[in-house]
Amino acid sequence: MQDLLTFLGIVNVKRVYYQLSVPELVEHTLWRKEGYLAESGALVVKTGEFTGRSPKDKFIVRDQTTEDKIWWGTINQPFESTAFENLLQKVRGYLQGREIYVRDAFVGADPKYRLKIRIITEYPWQNLFAHHLFIRPTKEELKDFGTPDFTVLAVPGFRADSPLDKTRQHNFTIIDFSRKIVLIGGSAYTGEIKKSIFTVMNDLLPLQGVFPMHCSANVGADGDVAIFFGLSGTGKTTLSSDPQRALIGDDEHGWSDQGVFNFEGGCYAKVINLSKEKEPQIYNAIRFGTLLENVVFFEGSRKVNFADDSITPNTRAAYPIEYIEGAVIPSVGGIPKHIFMLTCDAYGIFPPIARLTPEQAMYHFISGYTAKIAGTEAGIVDPQATFSACFGEPFLPLHPTKYAQMLGEKMKKHNVKVWLVNTGWVEGPFGIGHRIDLDYTRAMIRAAMRGDLDNVAYQTEPIFGLQVPESVPNVPSHILMPKNTWKDPNAYDEKARVLVKKFIENFKKYEDFATEAIKNAGPRLVSV
């Protein structure tokens, strides 16, 4: 087993546990007193200090491989190669005499674009997460696995000595594309593992002509594929886990000439306020083997109180995609017919659903407007308006215009219908209005996919020029045009001006790339 680690220079460990089963990993977690079993049989753990990603502590090693390729800045912060080697050497020393959990897995359900990865973790429940979230090789595939294409080394117990180690603080996530290593320390939040590999795929796949996407995807009975763009908290997982459709994947996909394919083998769903009535597929996936992070039990019981956010609003469940009834295995589908761009609009200005022209679709994809939801990232308490290019800016190693160009080519080639969906606030902004009812959002999306909105009358929303349907089956018509729902129309106008200014200021970064048609698809500062 030591041979699994020697290529990283890791030696003298106490024991290596390789490719343990789900029951074994659960047992190890319980033996080590690192978790508890819930009433449902799920394993409950706490991730400690970090209950969300820490984007300010993510780095990419800057060397000859990455110098002229990476989109450097606040998203992709450079890290010195020598500093990385020194930090890696310290981690090697930290691991001596410790138990280590190792797992080999795949990323990418399409074998043509598959990445072999090795995940080395300090805790057994981290390895359980890797078992669920990445694609599980068969016994035959493991025999011929060979050297991994990339290795993730996740060691929460190791704390960097900053500034000696050149990190911002004691935690860090560093990607070295030359050494093909992801080094994670000081944080036990498992989302750092999956998102670092997503960043790797976002670098590698465009070279192969594949468009990588931060999206969920599902497919109907007749093979019609839909994809859902959106940041964490906008509803990708919830809306793609639809009992009426089969799930392809809930977070990360590639779009090749043949169609879409899931990067992952499981789901990492937010479970705050989870209920069987609203989200039955996710609720039913909470059973033995599922990893629950930072949830709280009802007092005196082992029953999870999904409404309790005392640890974090970013409570999570990790489970294999097979736990979703009817999920597509292997997780591949055809060319998408519909694209839904999800935004959690805390301002309450965007309509619940709008049809986009190709130019509007490009504008809103490049803008990537939403609100950061409490708990998704460290330090976020109340929703904050933000712009995240391509609905996934934190995970883009290349310039956003590269991905936008790929989307534009796909939309044009396949004549895809694109919709903007507000899963955020209606009848006023955050603090006054309320988040739209999930049943209404589901009804609108289903209506769009069925073609029910193809021939209805539309009216033009005056701020962004969006085409809004006048009626949608099973949805109250009065909520479709936002201004109509506000008690104070003047307050709506003022809030709209604030949001428009933010859009215009943000898009200045991309004006040199955008065509006149795309720029004209944005909002204008007019008297509203």
Residues 188 and 247 in one domain: no
CATH code for the domain of 261: 3.90.228.20
Helix and strand element counts for the chain (H, E): 13, 30
Residue count of the chain:
528
Residues 355 and 428 in one domain: yes
Q: Is residue 320 part of a domain?
A: no
Residues 23 and 155 in one domain: yes
Residues 418 and 477 in one domain: yes
Distance (Å, whole) CA 378 – CA 54: 6
Q: Is residue 526 part of a domain?
A: no
Q: Is residue 44 part of a domain?
A: no
CATH code for the domain of 62: 3.40.449.10
Three-state SS annotation for 88-108: HHHHHHHHCCCEEEEEEEEEC
Distance (Å, whole) CA 325 – CA 323: 6
Q: Any idea what the Cα angle at residue 526 is, between residues 524 and 528, rounded to 5°?
A: 120
Q: State the residue range of the domain holding 435.
A: 211-266+330-520
Overall number of domains in the chain:
2
DSSP string, 199-258: HHHHHHGGGGT-EEEEEEEEE-TT--EEEEE--TTSSHHHHHS-TTSEEEESSEEEE-SS
Question: Looking at 177, 208, 239, which one is the last position of a domain?
Answer: 208
Q: Is residue 238 part of a domain?
A: yes
Residues 132 and 253 in one domain: no
Residue 526 DSSP label: -
Q: Is residue 290 part of a domain?
A: no
Residues 478 and 427 in one domain: yes
Q: Is residue 52 part of a domain?
A: no
Give me the tens of pLDDT residue by residue for the chain, a chain 528 residues long: 557 787 788 999 999 999 999 999 999 999 999 999 999 999 999 999 999 999 999 999 999 999 999 999 999 999 999 999 999 999 999 999 999 999 999 999 999 999 999 999 999 999 999 999 999 999 999 999 999 999 999 999 999 999 999 999 999 999 999 999 999 999 999 999 999 999 999 999 999 999 999 999 999 999 999 999 988 778 888 999 888 999 999 999 999 999 999 999 999 999 999 999 999 999 999 999 999 999 999 999 999 999 999 999 999 999 999 999 999 999 999 999 999 999 999 889 999 999 999 999 999 999 999 876 555 555 555 667 789 999 999 999 999 999 999 999 999 999 999 999 999 999 998 888 999 999 999 999 999 999 999 999 999 998 999 999 999 999 999 999 999 999 999 999 999 998 999 999 999 999 888 889 899 999 977 554
Q: Which residue has the tokens 């130019």?
A: 359
Q: What is the dihedral of CA 262, 267, 269, 274, to 10 degrees?
A: 120
Residues 199 and 225 in one domain: no
Residues 130 and 258 in one domain: no
Residues 187 and 222 in one domain: no
Distance (Å, whole) CA 155 – CA 185: 5
Residues 96 and 239 in one domain: no
Q: What are phi and psi of 195, to 5 degrees?
A: -75, -25
Residues 230 and 203 in one domain: no
Residue 422 β-bridge partners: 343
Q: Is residue 307 part of a domain?
A: no
Give pLDDT, residue 506: 94
Question: Looking at 159, 187, 208, which one is the last position of a domain?
Answer: 208
Cis status of the peptide bond prior to 330, with omega within 30 of 0? yes
Q: Is residue 405 part of a domain?
A: yes
Residues 122 and 100 in one domain: yes
| Catalytic annotation, residues | 53, 195, 214, 232, 236-237, 251, 316
Are 426 and 485 within 8 A, CB to CB? yes
CA neighbor of 522 nearest in space, from 351, 292, 366, 396 = 366
Question: Looking at 208, 232, 258, which one is the last position of a domain?
Answer: 208
